[in-house]
């Protein structure tokens, strides 16, 4: 982490489906199986095209966890010629690469073989740990069991996949749970060296959920957790906050050095009520610090060669594009 520098990635958000096998008490992303529950291929390609034309370097592919376990979903994915959502994601990742943008996938829980397979078409991948605590908000979400998520993060380390994870604050965990969660992440990184960034994300209550009147974390609570993360995690892990979910200008001083993916063309589909700040306005958020654009794969992992060979030329090109923009 270089002092005085705040980084971000210019991305495009592609929710391939909102169908999900989890039933988290705070989520509005999940929708039932129905017509239109899979993002049409034409929409994916047109969104990718718009992202490329807008200078985006990251295609964030995400979808509900294990949608194939939901009754009726397979009928819809088969209409597109695929047996699973992972096959669809793989194919759309190839399209993204061909069009000139790097895929980053957050697919929920994947096993070792699935991670290895999707890793072949991704520059980086991610999974929010959220918390190591067993909380009521996750009681109907088998994929949110801490041991399951930790196991996947460990598999990603074994496969040398540059990885993003993070904590979700205010969903029923305690301060000691947050400490434990950060210590688990630190331990994984110590063994495998693959955690490139940790998101400290505050819970935002959603109307219509059972937690719609749940209290939100105060600024001081978020700041304390950022400070805790900076104490526990090594310096080579970036600490990220989403600039659309809180007043980032008030949290930068707490030890943040990354603003994550910010899209000039798509909304935050997980938190649609919170628009992204304009990229041109990010400098106003960070004060006197220097704003630097980055790729979804951090430079140290590029230097290590932790990416599929098929991405080599594209990574070089996009790095040059970023450098060109920074000189303007």
Banded pLDDT at 2 (limits 50, 70, 90):
low
Residues near 86 by beta carbon (within 8 Å), at least 6 away in sequence: 107, 110, 114, 117, 118
Is 20 annotated among the ligand-binding residues?
A: yes
User: What is the distance between the alpha carbons of residues 166 and 186, in angstroms, rounded to a whole number?
Assistant: 11
- Tell me phi and psi for residue 60, to 5 degrees: -85, 105
Banded pLDDT at 324 (limits 50, 70, 90):
confident
Residue 178 has a pLDDT of 98
Q: What is the separation of C-alpha 90 from the centre of its chain, rounded to a whole number of angstroms? A: 17
pLDDT in tens, 224-260: 999 999 999 999 999 999 999 988 999 999 999 999 9
3-state secondary structure of 232: helix
112 touches 151 (CB < 8 A): no
Residue 325 has a pLDDT of 84
266 touches 284 (CB < 8 A): no
User: What is the distance between the alpha carbons of residues 308 and 121, in angstroms, rounded to a whole number?
Assistant: 7
3-state secondary structure of 303: helix
3-state secondary structure of 276: coil
Is 37 annotated among the ligand-binding residues?
A: no
Would you say residue 167 has pLDDT above 80? yes
User: What is the distance between the alpha carbons of residues 20 and 171, in angstroms, rounded to a whole number?
Assistant: 19
Residue 71 has a pLDDT of 97
pLDDT in tens, 288-308: 899 999 999 999 999 999 999
Question: In whole numbers, what is the pLDDT of the chain averaged over residues?
Answer: 96
Q: What is the separation of C-alpha 92 from the centre of its chain, rounded to a whole number of angstroms? A: 17
Instruction: Decide the pairing of beta strands 290-294 and 5-17.
Output: parallel
Would you say residue 183 has pLDDT above 60? yes
Would you say residue 1 has pLDDT above 60? no
CATH assignment, 5-327: 3.20.20.70
pLDDT more than 70, % of the chain: 98
Banded pLDDT at 326 (limits 50, 70, 90):
confident
pLDDT in tens, 77-133: 999 999 999 999 999 999 999 999 999 999 999 999 999 999 999 999 999 999 999
User: What is the distance between the alpha carbons of residues 262 and 275, in angstroms, rounded to a whole number?
Assistant: 10
Is 27 annotated among the ligand-binding residues?
A: yes
Q: What is the separation of C-alpha 224 from the centre of its chain, rounded to a whole number of angstroms? A: 22
Residue 328 has a pLDDT of 55
The reported pTM is 0.96
């Amino acid at each position: 982490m270089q002092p005085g520098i705040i980084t971000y990635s210019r991305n495009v958000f592609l929710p391939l489906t909102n169908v999900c096998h989890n039933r988290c008490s705070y989520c509005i992303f999940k929708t039932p199986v129905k017509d239109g529950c899979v993002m049409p291929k034409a929409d994916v390609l047109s969104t990718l095209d718009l992202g490329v034309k807008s200078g985006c370097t990251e295609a964030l592919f995400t979808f509900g966890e294990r949608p194939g376990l939901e009754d009726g979903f397979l009928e819809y994915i088969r209409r597109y010629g695929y047996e699973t959502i992972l096959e669809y994601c793989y194919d759309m990742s190839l399209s993204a690469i061909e069009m000139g943008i790097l895929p980053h996938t957050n697919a929920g829980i994947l096993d070792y073989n699935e991670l290895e397979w999707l890793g072949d078409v991704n520059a980086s991948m991610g999974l929010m740990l959220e918390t190591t605590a067993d909380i009521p908000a996750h009681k109907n979400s088998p994929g949110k069991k801490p041991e399951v998520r930790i196991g996947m993060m460990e598999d990603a380390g074994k496969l040398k996949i540059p990885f993003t994870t993070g904590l979700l604050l205010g969903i029923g965990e305690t301060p000691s749970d947050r400490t434990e969660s950060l210590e688990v992440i630190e331990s994984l990184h110590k063994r495998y060296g693959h955690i490139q960034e940790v998101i400290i994300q505050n819970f935002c209550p959603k109307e219509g959920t059972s937690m719609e009147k749940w209290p939100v974390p105060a600024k001081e609570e978020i700041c304390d957790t950022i400070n805790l993360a900076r104490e526990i995690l090594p310096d080579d892990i970036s600490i990220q906050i989403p600039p659309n979910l809180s007043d980032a200008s008030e949290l930068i001083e707490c030890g943040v050095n990354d603003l994550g993916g910010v899209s000039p063309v798509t909304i935050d589909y997980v938190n649609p009520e919170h628009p992204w700040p304009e990229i041109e306005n990010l400098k106003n958020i960070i004060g006197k610090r220097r704003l630097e654009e980055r790729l979804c794969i951090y430079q140290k992992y590029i230097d290590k060669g932790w990416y599929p060979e098929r991405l080599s030329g594209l990574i070089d090109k996009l790095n040059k594009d970023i450098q060109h923009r920074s000189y303007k």
